[in-house]
Amino acid sequence: MLVVGLLLIVGSALWFVLTGNTGVRYSADTDDTVPMWFRWIPVLAGVALVRLVPFPAAAITTTERQPRLEAGVLLALAVLFAVTLRLAGGGEPAHTLLKALLLLAVPAAMFWSLRRKGTAWRLAGGQLDAWRHWAPVIPVAAWGLLSYASPWAMPSSDFATTVDLVTLVLALVVGFLVNSLLEEVFYRRWLQSRWEAIIGRWPAIVLASLLWAAWHIAIQSSGDLPADLASTFVNQGILGLFLGYLWSKYRMMWPIVAVHGAVNAVPILLPLL
Would you give per-residue pLDDT tens digits along the chain (273 residues)?
Answer: 899 999 999 999 999 999 888 888 877 777 788 999 999 999 999 999 999 987 665 544 445 578 999 999 999 999 999 999 999 998 899 999 999 999 999 999 999 999 999 888 987 765 666 667 788 999 999 999 999 999 989 888 888 889 999 999 999 999 999 999 999 999 999 999 999 999 999 999 999 999 999 999 999 887 788 888 999 999 999 999 999 999 999 999 999 999 999 999 999 998 888
> DSSP secondary-structure letter at 6?
H
pLDDT for the residue 107: 98
Per-residue pLDDT of 8-29, as tens digits, reads: 999 999 999 998 888 888 777 7
What DSSP assignment string belongs to 70-109? HHHHHHHHHHHHHHHHHHTTS-TTHHHHHIIIIIIIHHHH
Per-residue pLDDT of 85-103, as tens digits, reads: 999 998 899 999 999 999 9
pLDDT for the residue 46: 96
Pairing of strands 23-25, 33-35: antiparallel
pLDDT for the residue 56: 60
Upper half-sphere CA count for residue 234 (Cβ side, 13 Å): 24
pLDDT for the residue 61: 47
User: Domains of the chain: which residue ranges?
Assistant: 1-56+79-120+131-272
Q: How far apart are CA 65 and CA 115, in angstroms?
A: 15
pTM recorded for the entire structure: 0.94
- Cβ atoms of 231 and 220 within 8 Å: the answer is yes
